[in-house]
Chains A and B, each alone.
Chain A
């Protein structure tokens, strides 16, 4: 298969178009802007719509409108812009609408910085808006996975009628790597039972809505949705397990950080420390079974993030705090180095 050299942001945009995305609504923000720029050049040639909205809030509501008609729609931004989108994301979830939202994370809180970060884990997995709901959250660790996961995100969003997020970061968005575009056979989902796409009076009209004034009706709609979430937790988790079969210390990391951690794990093995790595590819649903399998032989875990420690909560819950979970993180846009992670492994290794 042909290898291309592309930035993560551009490769993701190309893959989205190939996956049948017909509407893209965006608003520029570093380090995500190449994604919108690529869409602006390519989308109209692919028979779709590119529109630069007047704000992030406007863009997410355009996604809601487009998705209501049954077409594949996407928006992208970086951390502060995602916060602005949160109201619309909650409405998408409440209306059972599929959509794909890209977050190329940068440092926060506030306007924060523009360098890579993973400080939006809690936001993505726990509270991307008000109300009882979840998004499917995918965490790519390479430019190739930016491609593969956006295709998966569109398919899963349609399958479960819910929004999906790609939680990337500035490093993955800005870097170039060889990437291939596999033959994409995007799933075709029949949306005729719900899409509000014109009916010429030949059927009853469809209503897309997230407002329920009777509590029992709202409760029913939420519990129905949570029954679907249980199915998703059962079937949609995904993780990479690296050198975990005999590991004494299990490192946990996702996204770009996992690349650095993998180098550190290899260095640890070279000096005789049995280290392994667990890398969740889905952050929601969190790969609970996979983590328990990965840490079976481990005496302790070391979670590494570009944040002050957010995924560590899910790790502790997943193993029911049955083993010590240590943490090492850099934040504010600082990327941890393999050497400092190896230092942590040695420090903890000595205490095992």
Chain B
């Protein structure tokens, strides 16, 4: 089985990094996986997004068009991708920045005020990790230990002090 995940938001919100953590989780668990960023002019101001596939079999196309799981970090991303999610899929929404509610009845929508939670906990820019924590909790894709190992691997050694904050933010997401 292949789990297809799409993460979308503004450039600078850490969409690609959150995807990278998921990819590293797959690597840690010995899974097949792919990570594909959108690249190009849409990265300035508009929506940046990132496709992640996790599977037990080799990945075919790494481009996710109909995700099982969507992380939406801003209104344009939500509007653009909400209808592409597979029936029975899950959507994780930063409800601080996205006012709309998901009108679809065939998907599960989770509203997390992740930007607000990040600010309240002194985790500037940690909204992406809070949503990721929620995703891990609700999907059970990876264990907490795997996620911790993935963060340690994905954060470059020169920025090692950020490991703790990222793990803390994921923890907040898992509690909410």
Picked from A3, A174, A177, A263, the residue with its CB within 8 Å of the CB of B60 is A263
Q: Is the CB of A114 within 8 A of B39?
A: yes
Known interface pairs A171-B63, A260-B60, A337-B61; A176-B39 also in contact (CB < 8 Å) = no
Q: Report how far A178 CA is from B35 CA in the complex, Å.
A: 10
Known interface pairs A259-B60, A338-B60, A338-B61; A175-B35 also in contact (CB < 8 Å) = yes
Q: Report how far A174 CA is from B48 CA in the complex, Å.
A: 14
**B33 contacts the other chain (CB 8 A):** yes
Chain A interface: which size bin?
20 to 34
**A81 contacts the other chain (CB 8 A):** no
The 0/1 profile, CB within 8 Å of B marked 1, for residues 1-28 of chain A is 0010100000000000000000000000
Known interface pairs A176-B23, A178-B27; A5-B35 also in contact (CB < 8 Å) = yes
- CB neighbours (8 Å) of B30 from chain A are 3
Residue of A nearest to B37 (CB): A174
Q: Is the CB of B33 within 8 A of A178?
A: yes
Q: Is the CB of B61 within 8 A of A335?
A: yes
Picked from B33, B39, B40, B61, the residue with its CB within 8 Å of the CB of A263 is B61
Q: Report how far A3 CA is from B32 CA in the complex, Å.
A: 11
Q: Is the CB of A5 within 8 A of B23?
A: yes
Q: Is the CB of A176 within 8 A of B35?
A: yes
**A69 contacts the other chain (CB 8 A):** no
The 0/1 profile, CB within 8 Å of A marked 1, for residues 131-171 of chain B is 00000000000000000000000000000000000000000
Q: Is the CB of A114 within 8 A of B63?
A: no
**B89 contacts the other chain (CB 8 A):** no
The 0/1 profile, CB within 8 Å of A marked 1, for residues 93-110 of chain B is 000000000000000000
Q: Is the CB of B39 within 8 A of A31?
A: yes
Residue of B nearest to A335 (CB): B63
Chain B interface: which size bin?
10 to 19
Q: Report how far A114 CA is from B59 CA in the complex, Å.
A: 23
- CB neighbours (8 Å) of B40 from chain A are 30, 114-115
Q: Is the CB of B39 within 8 A of A259?
A: no
- CB neighbours (8 Å) of A31 from chain B are 39
Q: Is the CB of B24 within 8 A of A5?
A: yes
The smallest C-beta distance from A246 to any residue of chain B, in angstroms, reads: 21
The 0/1 profile, CB within 8 Å of A marked 1, for residues 63-96 of chain B is 1010000000000000000000000000000000
**B49 contacts the other chain (CB 8 A):** no
Interface residues of A (CB under 8 A from B): 3, 5, 30-31, 114-115, 170-171, 174-178, 259-260, 262-263, 266, 335, 337-338
Interface residues of B (CB under 8 A from A): 20, 23-24, 27, 30, 32-37, 39-40, 59-63, 65
- In the complex, besides A259-B61, A260-B61, 20 extra interface pairs with C-beta distance below 8 angstroms are A3-B27, A5-B24, A30-B39, A114-B40, A170-B39, A171-B62, A171-B63, A175-B35, A175-B62, A177-B33, A177-B34, A177-B62, A178-B33, A260-B60, A262-B60, A263-B60, A266-B60, A337-B65, A338-B60, A338-B61
